[in-house]
Structure 1
Amino acid sequence: MGSLPAAAAALALLSLLAVGSSRETQFDVGDAGLDAENFNTSDAAKYWGPWLPARATWYGQPNGAGPDDKGGACGFKHTNQYPFMSMGSCGNQPLFKDGKGCGSCYKIRCRKDKSCSGRTETVIITDMNYYPVSKYHFDLSGTAFGRLAKPGLNDKLRHSGIIDIEFTRVPCEFPGLKIGFHVEQFSNPVYFAVLVEYEDGDGDVVQVDLMESKTAHGPPTGRWTPMRESWGSVWRLDSNHRLQAPFTIRIRNESGKTLVAKNVIPANWRPNTFYRSIVQYS
């Protein structure tokens, strides 16, 4: 009988942790039955594949977008606005993929908890989950977690803390948008960093290349220069010469599809500025 209070305290602590920040929530990974070799990103990458089991928690404000800065480890801006609409989620490594999973879209549903509606909702990977409680772990915004509930039971479901869910990868659908680029704060003529944001379709980015409009001496370059992943969905190019804008940007997705945003960054580009473009697929 003496062990019951300790067990109850441990259970209460786990429930509190379940609704903490993705960056602060700390679970014993060993107790969750996880093993590094069990992580399989290929299963999660299949569009409309079989529904896979996962677990979900939530963090931030009950009706919020997740982190206080409305961003996260992917670097996305204003995730409380269209097209994210507060439906973001932290993903553990098989979902976040060292940042290459940023922007991926997933259908999720829950049916085991009595407060669950069983209805499917679409969430976008916007952040990193550092302390997973299962092989696949979605740490949802408070808004996204509540959307899984039956009408009027949003708060009751959130009080469950950790729930079992199912998920499948789907293409992102952002009507009216194709792709956006935010030129990062410290970009300058010899250093260019860009956040790739809300890409319609695959959502994720595995490689970004930049083409200058001309060489320093005038003629067109016709040459792609690979950019390096900086963090999250931010890609950078360190140059040994003054970069010649406008820039055309090419993106390759996990599926192998390539898209090109021609002259998307204008000649008079400025840091801390957002640019969008019509894209050409290949």
Structure 2
Amino acid sequence: MGTLSSLAVLAALLSFAAVGGAVDGSAEYDTSTDLTPAGADWNASEATKYWGPWTPARATWYGQPEGAGPDDNGGACGFKHVNRYPFMSMGSCGNQPLFKDGKGCGSCYKIRCRKDQSCSGRTETVIITDMNYYPVAPFHFDLSGTAFGRLAKPGLNDKLRHSGIIDIEFTRVPCEFPGLKIGFHVEEYSNPVYFAVLVEYEDGDGDVVQVDLMESRGPGGGRWTRMRESWGSIWRLDSNHRLQAPFSIRIRNESGKTLVANKVIPANWRPNTFYRSFVQYS
């Protein structure tokens, strides 16, 4: 999460409380709705799925005004080049109910803002790509500068960004990445007894709650071996034998859907390499 909102946002809230009105002296911060249930832990993990009704949240932004968020175009999910397709700089940090210890990485949400005078009211789709460590609401989207500006009326992008904290609504939606189904980036230090893979570009549900690997031959051939979540959307397998590729990878989503990418990692796989696959659903 970037410095603009993750650190300065707390100072903005204190400033607001002190003056009893606008965060920036001009745009009024709406407090008409208390979003905080009694005893709520804003970083508590929840199993709730958000498909359906619009839910109130708050949004901030970080990074460059027209940027993708993180300075390295990555984030706490481990995704690469979030400034490029399919992310197109429309990423967001999520606090724990959205990030879910990394299992929310890749989830897509439609968001909209209507209370700030600079808001257009139209919906935009954002993808969870990063972690929000300093939430200001039970559901807090810390958007890229690009995504935050897209919520504004034409010509008012900078004015809306100047508001700092805005009330929004969100709803979970399927990810739509035309031309992509799923991709796997074999991480840099992978070797015959340690295999780590970043799961990204998952069309559909977007999230990943479990990953399994099947070797094509050898001691683990023909059976699924459970991988462990390393961090973000990176999953790893520490093996007691030399792993025998090609590898098939099976993914389970939060909705319970299972995706299988058969022999997606070839026999001559290399670390720091991206492999793409069409998948079978079950």
TM range (shorter): 0.7 to 0.9
Task: Tell me which residue corresponds to 2:31.
Answer: none
Task: Tell me which residue corresponds to 1:151.
Answer: 154
Task: Tell me which residue corresponds to 1:275.
Answer: 275
Task: Tell me which residue corresponds to 1:20.
Answer: 4
After the TM superposition, list the runs of 4 or more consecutive aligned residues in structure 1 that deviate by more than 6 angstroms. Answer: 28-32
Task: Tell me which residue corresponds to 1:13.
Answer: none
1:54 maps onto 2:38 in alignment: no
Amino acid at match of 1:163: I
Q: 2:46 aligns with which of 23, 41, 45?
A: 41
Q: Report how far residue 37 of structure 1 moved.
A: 4.7
Rounded to whole Å, the distance in 2 between the matches of 1:121 and 1:59 is 17
5+ residue gaps in structure 1? Answer: 1-16
| Mapping 1:67-146, distance limit 5 Å | 67-146=70-149
1:197 maps onto 2:200 in alignment: yes
Q: What is the TM-score of this pair, normalised by structure 2?
A: 0.87
Task: State the secondary structure of the residue aligned to 1:96.
Answer: helix
Alpha-carbon distance change, 21 to 191 in structure 1, aligned in 2, over 3 angstroms: farther
Amino acid at match of 1:27: L
CA contact (8 A) 2:41 2:138 kept: no
CA contact (8 A) 2:40 2:138 kept: no
Rounded to whole Å, the distance in 2 between the matches of 1:37 and 1:153 is 34
Amino acid at match of 2:186: V
CA contact (8 A) 2:114 2:168 kept: yes
Q: What is the TM-score of this pair, normalised by structure 1?
A: 0.87
Q: Report how far residue 25 of structure 1 moved.
A: 5.2
Q: How many residues align?
A: 260
Q: Report how far residue 20 of structure 1 moved.
A: 1.2
| Mapping 1:167-182, distance limit 5 Å | 167-182=170-185
| Mapping 1:254-273, distance limit 5 Å | 254-273=254-273
Rounded to whole Å, the distance in 2 between the matches of 1:37 and 1:193 is 32
CA contact (8 A) 1:172 1:199 kept: yes
Q: Report how far residue 42 of structure 1 moved.
A: 4.4
> Over aligned residues, Cα RMSD in angstroms?
2.2
Rounded to whole Å, the distance in 2 between the matches of 1:56 and 1:182 is 30
CA contact (8 A) 1:19 1:57 kept: no
Q: Report how far residue 156 of structure 1 moved.
A: 0.3
Q: 1:206 aligns with which of 190, 206, 209?
A: 209
Q: Report how far residue 222 of structure 1 moved.
A: 1.6
Alpha-carbon distance change, 186 to 118 in structure 1, aligned in 2, over 3 angstroms: same
5+ residue gaps in structure 2? Answer: 18-34
Rounded to whole Å, the distance in 2 between the matches of 1:209 and 1:151 is 46
